[in-house]
Amino acid sequence: MLEKSTLGRAAVVVAVALAAGPAGAWAPATEIVIAEQAARFAPRDLARQIEKHPQALRDGVLAAIANPAAGRTVGEVLATEVERAVDAIRNHRPFAEVVQRLGQVAHYVALANDPLAVGSDDPHERRYAGDYARYVESARPRFQATFYGDGRRVEQPAELTWLVRRAFARGRSYYPLIGNEYRRIGYREGRKHFDDRSTAYGLAALAFSHSISDTIGVLRYIWLRAGGADPREFLDLTPPASP
């Protein structure tokens, strides 16, 4: 059984509630791309099943976005969704259902990596939060996804706890820098005033890659806990071989 209380305590360290903040850096389309890219690098047998049910993955992401569990931390809800996904695989539920649950998991991992979702200290955040999500979605096709391997080989509940804790810490470090970027441009439209050398672009690209990296690690963790196997000695973003 996943140690939900342990993961919950890690989340409380940064007190991230699902209802916090008016908006995040990830638009729904960005979250779907994060889930899809991560799914390609799940353990091969799991990746094949996800590939057979692409709409179920998207539906899971969108369902989680549409139904936030207000009053609970990201860590608490992620722990619950991880456990439900493990149980669905162990109980031989239809893989469309399993994949939809994995989409929900992917949402919460992405949310933990969303710098605007994990911070709320800036009184002017409402002036730029929605615009930053639109900017990130416009810049996303130019991001070069990088796999950050340290800490992503999750095999124990404590390692999942640390993955979430590190995601929160990164987001908290990025958060004030985004506000600074909008103050620099006078809170104008990011798509018109941020170029690919800007701090705004760099932060978004980093958070995007970290979201994919963490999701890869969590998908692998779910599969192994459910009794699956992954013969790879290490995780990377090398495209999987064709069947």
243 is a domain residue: no
Distance of alpha carbon 240 from alpha carbon 210, whole angstroms: 20
Residue 134 confidence class, pLDDT cut points 50, 70, 90: very high
235 is a domain residue: no
Distance of alpha carbon 121 from alpha carbon 178, whole angstroms: 12
The CATH number that applies at residue 165 is 1.10.575.10
209 is a domain residue: yes
Give me the chain's average pLDDT, please.
87
Residues 130, 193 contacting (CB under 8 angstroms): no
**Which amino acid type is present at position 74?**
V
Domain count, the chain: 1
139 is a domain residue: yes
pLDDT at 3: 36
pLDDT at 22: 43
Structural domain including 120 reads 4-225
**Which amino acid type is present at position 117?**
A
Confidence (pTM)? 0.87
135-166: per-residue pLDDT in tens? 999 999 999 988 888 778 888 888 888 899 99
207 is a domain residue: yes
Residue 68 confidence class, pLDDT cut points 50, 70, 90: confident
Residue 17 confidence class, pLDDT cut points 50, 70, 90: very low
pLDDT at 152: 85
233 is a domain residue: no
Distance of alpha carbon 135 from alpha carbon 27, whole angstroms: 10
Task: Tell me the average pLDDT across 8-14.
Answer: 37
183-227: per-residue pLDDT in tens? 999 999 999 999 999 999 999 999 999 999 999 999 999 999 999
230 is a domain residue: no
80 is a domain residue: yes
